[in-house]
Amino acid sequence: MDDRKLTEEGVKSSYARAGAQIEIPGCSLCMGNQARVAAGCTAVSTSTRNFPNRLGQGANVFLASAELASVVSIMGRFPTVEEYFEFTKETLSDDLYQYLQFDAMPEYALGIDVKNVG
């Protein structure tokens, strides 16, 4: 879904040109997706947990909010507090925080009557 939304909004190509990698949703690279970051690299993850070698052998992994991960992807490094607030001063929350109503999206409907399941 995130991939489709980024494509619709016309920003996916910007991320690709910057070298960002978007993975399919899952618990993290090590479990649900079975992909790994390069050994010894530094990565920013929006996952909920981390421990040694979880995302890659000897990888330096920093957990971050989606907002911070976005700023890091733009800057190519962690921002100072001042830089972070400069990026986030203009709130776009009405545009950014959209509840995705999958049950109301025809492309995600399975034709199942939820009331009669099980």
Q: Which of 17-31, 33-47, 50-64 has the least mean pLDDT?
A: 17-31
> Which pLDDT does position 72 carry in this prediction?
93
Place of tokens 């995302």: 55
Number of other residues whose CB lies within 10 A of the CB of residue 13: 10
Q: Give φ, ψ of 106 to 5 degrees.
A: -55, -35
Q: pLDDT tens digits, residue range 16-39? A: 887 777 766 666 655 555 678 889
d(CA 77, CA 68): 10
Q: Does 113 score more than 70 pLDDT?
A: no
Q: Does 46 score more than 60 pLDDT?
A: yes
pLDDT band at 63 (very low <50, low <70, confident <90, very high): very high
Element spanning 93, H or E: helix 93-96
Number of other residues whose CB lies within 10 A of the CB of residue 29: 21
Q: pLDDT tens digits, residue range 68-112? A: 998 998 899 999 999 999 988 876 666 666 667 777 777 666 666
